[in-house]
Amino acid sequence: MRGLPIAAGAHPVAPGHEIHRPRGLGEWTLWLTVRGRCRIQGCADDIISSAGELILYQPRVLQLYGTRDLQDPWYPLWAVFAPLPHWLPRMSWPEIAKGVMRLGPLEEDARVEVQSAFEELLAALQPSIHDGEAWAMHHLERILLHCDAANPLRRSGMDPRVREAVQYLAARIQSPPSLGAVAAAVHLSPPHLCRLFKEQLGTPPLAYLEQLRLGKGAELLKYSSLSVKEVAGELGYHSSFYFSARFRHRFGKSPQQFRHDFLEKSPGKTTRIRQGNSG
């Protein structure tokens, strides 16, 4: 980073491109996927990160990600930065691997706010902007504040076993475990885990996981060219008919109608991404 507190950029990554940093970077790395998908390796299973999700890497952690075996370009907004000390409590998100954290997919309002702050961050780093680095850090703090509000681990007083279960589920959106597996991972009986989970998050563990999966499915329908069958497969549903039924139950319309309605509301919609260096 050449001594700067922050670097940032954006540009589409073509299919088949892979970034491999065995020792990671010396600072934190953050990106928001705006469109497309990215495959993250080095986890228990390869993770597909899609639109509306954020990934945060701790310093000096293996970074192996890209568009291997994916057909569409990936459009990330990224930043590499040295955080201010008071930011660190806001940077504890659900882990998908040691030192690699994922948040989202964000709700639409939060996604718009985060993307807008990212774009203002990029604009602040233009050479013509006075005190641009200070403004960029300001916009990055805005991003982290919005993320903190969306972070399921942010609740004070959360039982550490529930926190661990959230982490476990967040890493397995595409390969959903059984309730027994989740309970065993946090050393609780299934009934005890369900009771704690519902008390603190308002829903049982597997219902929480389904919310994550269907939310990710909604983002794929909006921002990818995948068919409904392919979306179902990405999320670990063995039947596209079952996925469609659960999607209708969650959103009140079929996946096809959901996609149609979104596109109808956004005629000619384009993604505003400024050019920059690859993350």
Domain ranges of the chain: 6-150, 160-265
HEC per residue, the chain: CCCCCEEEEECCECCCCEEEECCCCCCEEEEEEEECEEEECCCCCCEEEECCCEEEECCCCCEEEECCCCCCCEEEEEEEECCCHHHHHHHCCCEEECCEEEECCCCHHHHHHHHHHHHHHHHHCCCCCCCHHHHHHHHHHHHHHHHHHHCCCCCCCCCHHHHHHHHHHHCCCCCCCCHHHHHHHCCCCHHHHHHHHHHHHCCCHHHHHHHHHHHHHHHHHHHCCCCHHHHHHHCCCCCHHHHHHHHHHHHCCCHHHHHHHHHHHCCCCCCCCCCCCCC
pTM over 0.95: no
Report the CATH number of the 6-150 domain. 2.60.120.280
Local confidence pLDDT in tens for the 279 residues of the chain: 444 589 999 989 999 999 999 999 999 999 999 999 999 987 767 788 899 999 999 999 999 999 988 888 999 999 999 999 889 988 989 988 889 999 988 988 999 999 999 999 999 999 898 888 889 999 999 999 999 999 988 766 788 899 899 989 988 888 889 999 999 999 999 999 999 998 888 889 999 999 889 988 998 898 888 899 999 998 999 999 999 999 999 999 999 999 999 888 765 544 433 333 345
Report the CATH number of the 160-265 domain. 1.10.10.60
